[in-house]
């Protein structure tokens, strides 16, 4: 049975929310009554996603910002202040995943991956946490098995950024505990989203991958969103600084 959450007094910001896991997380929070800011760099897609939620009667706003741009991130949190006067939950979900051998990785792609996946997490966390110190809150970082326990292949910048995100999660959890701000990371396995479309096209590779997953299938975005809801809820009141595998049992460490 899926628990019945009520986040009606809660303001949530989800980055990278125009599609995939971020959109599903935003939809899940909005469905529980939360006020949700959907952030993305893709203006048309995030406006469309937000409008669809608005038509369902959800209280939502779109904010177009590159999470790696400090002034754009600051403007986003000021806009949330002006609209709702608080922020209670931040989900750092925006991410990019370039595919390249280390031997010829461009410095620009390496740097951009760290900027979006890791520095973006820092910048949004800093803005959100400054607003949470007086009232508590929750921060959830969408990392990856790639940063914790599962080397992928040709994804060195991605794995480095996700490992960094997990280290940052633990530091933030330690630092913010006394403010009542809990910080956790989620480490998904392969989830069915646009990001993994190119992987899923290779049926032989997918069959091999599935054969190593005890639950014998790929994950769905809603299976990440459900853990986000739980981590943000009072049911998880003693949980902070953890990095949660959601990967069908592929990694059990």
In the complex, which residues of this chain contact ligand NAD (CB under 6 A)?
15-16, 18-22, 39-42, 66-68, 93-97, 116, 120, 142, 144, 188, 190-191, 193-196
What residue has token string 């939809």?
Answer: 27
Helices vs strands, H then E, count in the chain: 9, 7
Considering the complex, state which of residue 178 and residue 211 has its C-beta at the smaller distance from ligand NAD. 211
Q: 112: burial class by Cβ within 10 Å (0-12, 13-18, 19+)?
A: middle
* Nearest residue (CB) to ligand NAD, 18 versus 34: 18
Query: Would you say 155 and 97 are in contact if contact means Cβ atoms under 8 Å apart?
Result: yes
CB 236 within 8 A of CB 182: yes
Q: In angstroms, give the least distance from the CB of 237 to ligand NAD.
A: 25
Least Cβ distance, residue 77 to ligand NAD (angstroms): 14
Query: Exactly one of 5, 153, 158, 179 is catalytic; which is it?
Result: 158
User: Smaller CB distance to ligand NAD: residue 12 or 142?
Assistant: 142
In the complex, minimum distance from the CB of residue 117 to ligand NAD, in angstroms, rounded to a whole number: 6
Measured from the CB atom, the residue of 10 and 121 that comes closer to ligand NAD is: 121
DSSP state of 133: T
- Find the shortest distance in angstroms from Cβ 67 to ligand NAD: 4
Between the CA of residue 241 and those of 165, 172, 175, 191, 244, what are the distances in Å?
Answer: 11, 8, 10, 23, 10
Q: Would you state the structure tokens that stand for residue 90, as one six-digit string? A: 């931040």
179 is annotated as an active-site residue: no
Active site residue ranges: 158
């Amino acid at each position: 049975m899926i628990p019945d959450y009520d986040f009606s007094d809660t303001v949530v910001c989800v980055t990278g929310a125009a599609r995939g896991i971020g959109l599903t997380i935003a939809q899940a929070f909005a469905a529980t009554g939360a006020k949700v800011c959907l952030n993305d760099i893709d203006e048309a897609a995030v406006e469309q996603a937000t409008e669809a939620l608005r038509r369902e009667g959800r209280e939502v706003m779109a904010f177009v910002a590159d999470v790696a741009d400090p002034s754009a991130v600051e403007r986003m949190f000021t806009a949330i202040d002006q609209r709702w006067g608080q922020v209670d939950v931040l989900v750092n979900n925006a991410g990019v995943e370039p595919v390249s051998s280390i031997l010829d990785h461009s410095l620009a792609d390496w740097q951009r991956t760290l900027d979006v996946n890791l520095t973006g997490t820092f910048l949004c966390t800093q803005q959100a946490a400054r607003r949470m110190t007086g009232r508590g809150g929750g921060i959830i970082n969408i990392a990856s098995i790639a940063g914790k326990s599962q080397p992928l292949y040709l994804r060195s910048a991605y794995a480095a950024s996700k490992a960094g995100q997990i280290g940052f999660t633990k530091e933030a959890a330690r630092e913010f505990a006394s403010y009542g701000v809990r910080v956790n990371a989620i480490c998904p396995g392969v989830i069915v989203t646009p990001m993994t479309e190119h992987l899923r096209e290779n049926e032989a590779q997918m069959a091999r991958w599935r054969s190593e997953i005890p639950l014998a299938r790929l994950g769905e975005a809603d299976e990440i969103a459900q853990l986000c809801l739980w981590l943000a809820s009072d049911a998880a009141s003693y949980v902070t600084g953890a990095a949660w595998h959601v990967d069908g049992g592929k990694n059990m460490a």
